[in-house]
Structure 1
């Protein structure tokens, strides 16, 4: 018996954003759905078991094995028919690229123009995620410390990559704001006052993973309008760039001044030193007075994917490159690092044009075969921790940048089943992620499209078309038995 998918009939309305100009603004604005995630869906901060790589739709009794390995494998002909039936928009036919893989074996089942590069938009973050997962221990945390050099009245706040510090106390249940400056100030002030010190100098150590404050390939207007902010090794949750609240020009200075004020409220006067000295590393023999630690790298990476955070994605790749002793300072250093990791993992890179780690830069091109190859690695657990990252992708209609998607009449029957990374630019749109078909077979998919009118309405149509194609793949049930029965 074919599985019967049960999905919410709650209607959703796309949130219109005046003045839409650039990447992922539509995906960054939450939709109106406020449903809880279904049981088993993962949340940032919770490890997802490998067996839960793909979501499973609600089903009748007597269903097949939970991992879907006993379910029929869709045929290429069946997938082709399903996608063709969903490709009614004439503009969709001009620039559609698709790749579908088996979610059990990772083998490609069918593709359409799979080797043709197209604008990836923010689906490029999946390539960045692989590079990070291949390099960093995703269970490790980012420290922010304060040290006191021997024989000096100076303090050094050592930044190592946490851009999401809380300006007050940390929240152990949160990803953004997991570590708090107030907690750090408590420890440092207690150590200083116990030693009779109430006046100190203060500087930052920003020597780790140096690089361009803003990637030169980004459109400056995107930074001005809050779609991205400076790429640094420190920052506060309150200085994080959003489309409604651009980042300040120098978030690191806000960190330093906020910490100085916190020390002052605890009886320690800290005088900020000239920013020219902030690139120098702290002395190796300095005494640590306080330490706070971020959420795990895995949780930070999932947040970057879930909310399509351009600056966080760039920072994480830069940290990975620095950890691997790869260059970080050149204009294309992040892109070069990602390409190297893709090639080392055997991912096809024909036609690949990368300029950043986030997908925000214009002029980039990624073929469905490249994105699909990365998802194939996740299925096979290469590396295992990357499988966990893909397992945390946003759920259609329910979370992250997919919260406002799949709610139209033509797609709401699969609501809550596909998980994906979104990508939205006027030059092209994409979805890449995982689903379970009507027979219960886990699948991965990549769907890209360009050629739509580069207008607001054209972008909405492209998004809706992508949702229809993914819904068709999800409800297909295109296994050999079903195809043979006509």
Structure 2
């Protein structure tokens, strides 16, 4: 990928199993492993076992013979919940296995922590308190902060507002950088809110207000403050498109085309979105006799949104006093967190951090975002005195986080008291199947972890990291974090070492 990161029926599988195994496995994992929708996952991790009968090898370790039933996981369903009755791995036996796999290829070294998710017992600790550059594993902090501060069901609004001057329409950004240029796609995350839909609704609003003369489009992107680029980012990374200047509205997560994940980005993503909106408004207004003046400008200082009061990020719309002509809403925060974890999206992560800051009453700037995210760690009782964060995407070696801190964040997501964090679990890439782990765990040394390990990846030139969760062979839920620093650039054995180590956890019946 990039430098920083780089449904069901009861029909038997029988003769069709060869064609549908990937779908079966992924569906079964989502339903049977951890049910990470929130309400179902907590009892699954913490509640008593439904069957007193011991199981030699749990169903989570087996390829299902049939597709999951629609009510799987509920009463009478085909998936049993995980239980704290499963044996905890013996720490010494586990360490023996992990010490054999967690080795650097060339220079550098690995630190790591493995914990029992239910009790928090530390089962493996190699330099777990040593702070290191975590690369994109730092995105886990923003994911947790966004779910706690904004809530998994929050949506961001992009509005067309009547300006103070007659015949002006102000496109007002409210934090949605996953806008689509076309019609809104209600079932999508990227493109859930479409500018063509907003333009059509805006024409209707103008007609209702009796506007018939030429319309001028202005842009209000004042929700964010401070420099649009973090001083911690190298110009080379910006030029390569690892990240771009941050604005509270953008098309395709500040990419020129949907689905593009590499290469240069628009330097002014907000203006690019505003120009796309003006083009759609021109097309939609033609049939109604409404013309649009060519060109888009930013709102004058005298028309900018008033200062927000603390905690007033909820409207996410810039706070203008004019009449709202039309608006479109983003995918939920929970869905966006899933996307940023699965694809390791730098731009979306940084924007989400600024939205957390705005909702926390802090400036929606780089410094405000970092402060707001670290505040949420403290509220989660995760010690962060030693933690240093220069950005939230993980593009700089200036970030310093320990494996114990990252493991604690994952544990809070899996079994912590705040059920809002469960929404992050579905976004963790699945080994050999999805996201940044989709092309890994494909050889015999890592096959034991394929489909079972779920973890956030992280990669810089001399850094590699992996933090996530897995159910071992005995049915025990484990959380882990491994960080390699000062590694030989390009050494293939380092990624393999991480994958073999996580696979050893999945296969562990360590007693």
TM-score range, shorter chain: 0.7 to 0.9
Distance 1:338 1:476, change over 3 A: same
Distance 1:199 1:283, change over 3 A: farther
User: Structure 1: where are the runs of 5+ without partners?
Assistant: 1-16, 26-33
Aligned to 1:396: 431
Equivalent residue for 1:145, pick from 159, 177, 188: 159
- TM-superposed CA distance for 1:121, in Å, is 0.3
- Measure the CA separation in 1 of the matches of 2:403 and 2:131: 7
What is aligned with 2:130?
A: 116
Q: Is contact 1:225–1:243 with CA below 8 Å preserved after alignment?
A: no
Q: Name the SS for the 2:468 alignment partner.
A: strand
The residue matched to 1:422 in structure 2 has which SS? strand
Equivalent of 1:322 in 349, 358, 363 = 358
CA distance in 2, matches of 1:59, 1:398: 15
1:180-207 Cα deviation digits (max 9, x unpaired) = 0000011111222342424112111212
Q: Matches of residues 206-245 of structure 1 in structure 2 within 5 Å?
A: 206-237=221-252, 239-240=254-255, 244-245=262-263
TM-score between both structures, scaled by the size of structure 1:
0.84
Instruction: Kindly indicate whether residue 215 of structure 2 is the aligned counterpart of residue 200 of structure 1.
Output: yes
CA displacement at 1:24 relative to structure 2: 2.1
- Residue 479 of structure 2: SS of its match in structure 1? strand
Q: Deviations over 1:60-118 (max 9, x none)?
A: 99x995213221111211221110222355648x5221111212334433321101112
8 Å CA contact 1:99–1:110 kept in 2: the answer is: yes
Matched, 1:39 2:27: yes
Check whether the contact 2:337–2:427 (CA below 8 A) recurs between aligned residues.
no
Task: Name the CA distance, whole Å, in 2 between partners of 1:88 and 1:187.
Answer: 58
Q: Which residue of the other structure, out of 457, 467, 472, is the alignment partner of 1:437?
A: 472
Which of 190, 205, 228 is matched with 1:176 structurally?
190
Task: Give runs of ≥4 in structure 1 deviating > 6 Å.
Answer: none
In structure 2, relative to structure 1, the CA distance for the partners of 1:302 and 1:64 (3 Å cut) is: closer
Distance 1:262 1:224 in 2: 29
Instruction: Pick from 99, 109, 118 the counterpart of residue 113 of structure 2.
Output: 99
1:304-323 residue pairs with structure 2 within 5 A?
A: 304-323=340-359
* Residues 153 and 431 of structure 1: CA distance in aligned 2, closer, same or farther (over 3 Å): same
Aligned to 1:342: 377
Comparing 273-282 and 434-443, the one that deviates more: 273-282
Distance 1:155 1:414, change over 3 A: same
The answer (yes or no) to whether the contact 1:231–1:312 under 8 Å persists in 2 is: no
- Equivalences, count: 445
Residue equivalent to 1:14: none
397-406 or 349-358, which moves further after superposition? 349-358
In 1, Cα distance between equivalents of 2:476 and 2:229: 43
Cα separation, 2, equivalents of 1:162 and 1:200: 24
Query: Match of 2:175?
Result: 161
Aligned equivalents of 1:51, 1:437: Cα separation in 2? 20
SS at match of 1:115: coil
Q: Pick from 300, 304, 315 the counterpart of residue 280 of structure 1.
A: 304
Q: Which residue of 2 aligns with 1:465?
A: 497
Cα 1:248–1:90 change in 2 (3 A) is: closer
Higher relative contact order (CA 8 A, sep 6+): 1
Counterpart of 1:270? 292
2:509 aligned partner? 477
Q: CA deviation at 1:362?
A: 2.6
Is it true that 1:410 corresponds to 2:445 in the alignment?
A: yes
- For the 8 Å contact 2:104–2:487, the answer to whether it is kept is no
Q: Which residue of 1 aligns with 2:336?
A: 300
Give the 3 Å change call, closer, same or farther, for CA 204–90 of structure 1 in structure 2: closer
Q: Contact 2:218–2:299 at 8 Å: present in 1 too?
A: no
Give me the TM-score of the superposition, normalised by structure 2.
0.81
Q: Over the residues paired in the alignment, what is the CA RMSD in angstroms?
A: 2.8
